[in-house]
């Protein structure tokens, strides 16, 4: 079997705000009834993270659960654990109406780290990123420049961005250009 490689193979754009490709990241999309107790508990089992409410991402170490839509949850686990996690989900939700699919290699994850990371994101997304409105643990699906993307705040200085693999290079350059442009000083 061929070796998995991430879209940008760990590209880094260093600076006051560093843009860094996150490398291989296991991502499972789970669609189903998010109020279902079995679905909630298996999400917790595979990630260790609490179940997020609307618009949230809950993290546990490098694992996470992110609220994508009223019937879709994004599950982040290590790339090598995906098959095992899907097997657990299939077992827990047997007989129910759901979909669990491995999308790890269809997407890329990019980290934006640094003091004005918030402003880099605010330059690119039509989202109110004021510190009172968008806080660590908040998750948003939107667009960055011309492409669909989702991001969440890991902590005050770190955003994680996911996008489709085919536009990973564009998204990376977009974020790097935003970081290179410097702080705006708005927030």
Tell me which residue has tokens 């640094």: 114
Tokens matching residue 158: 């770190």
Q: Which is nearer to other proteins, 68 or 82 (CB)?
A: 68
Q: Binding residue for other proteins (CB under 8 A) from 2, 35, 94, 126?
A: 126
**By CB under 8 A, is residue 140 in contact with other proteins?**
yes
From residue 43 to residue 82, what is the string marking binding to other proteins with x (rule CB under 8 A)?
-----------xx------------xxx-x----------
Tokens matching residue 3: 């070796």
Cα dihedral 139, 160, 7, 63 sign: negative
DSSP three-state, residue 115: coil
CB of 146 to other proteins, least distance (A): 10
- Type and span of the H or E element at 176: helix 168-180
**By CB under 8 A, is residue 145 in contact with other proteins?**
no
Q: Which is nearer to other proteins, 138 or 157 (CB)?
A: 138
The span of 76-84, 125-133, 158-166, 171-179 binding other proteins (CB under 8 A) equals 125-133
CB of 11 to other proteins, least distance (A): 24
Q: Which is nearer to other proteins, 95 or 126 (CB)?
A: 126
Q: What is the DSSP string of 124-182?
A: HSSS---TTTS-TTBEEEEEETTEEEEEEEEETTEEEEEEEGGGHHHHHHHHHHHHHT-
d(CA 137, CA 123): 20
Tokens matching residue 182: 């410097």
Tokens matching residue 72: 């879709």
Q: Binding residue for other proteins (CB under 8 A) from 107, 118, 141, 154?
A: 141
**By CB under 8 A, is residue 142 in contact with other proteins?**
yes
Binding residues (CB under 8 A) for other proteins: these are 54-55, 68-70, 72, 126-128, 140-143, 148
């Amino acid at each position: 079997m061929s070796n998995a490689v991430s879209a940008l193979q760990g590209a880094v754009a260093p600076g006051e705000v560093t843009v860094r490709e996150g490398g291989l990241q296991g991502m499972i999309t789970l669609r189903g009834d998010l109020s279902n107790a079995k679905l909630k508990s298996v999400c917790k089992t595979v990630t260790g993270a609490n179940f997020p409410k609307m618009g949230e991402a809950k993290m546990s170490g490098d694992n996470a659960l992110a609220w994508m839509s009223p019937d879709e949850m994004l599950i982040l686990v290590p790339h090598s654990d995906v098959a095992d996690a899907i097997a657990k989900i299939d077992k827990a939700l047997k007989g129910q109406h759901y979909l669990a699919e491995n999308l790890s290699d269809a997407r890329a994850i990019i980290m934006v780290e640094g003091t004005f990371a918030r402003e880099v994101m605010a330059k690119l997304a039509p989202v109110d990123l004021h510190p009172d409105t968008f806080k660590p643990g908040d998750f948003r699906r939107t667009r960055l420049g011309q492409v669909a993307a989702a991001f969440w705040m890991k902590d005050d200085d770190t955003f994680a961005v996911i996008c489709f693999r085919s536009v990973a290079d564009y998204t990376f350059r977009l974020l790097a250009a935003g970081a290179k442009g410097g702080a705006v000083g708005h927030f």
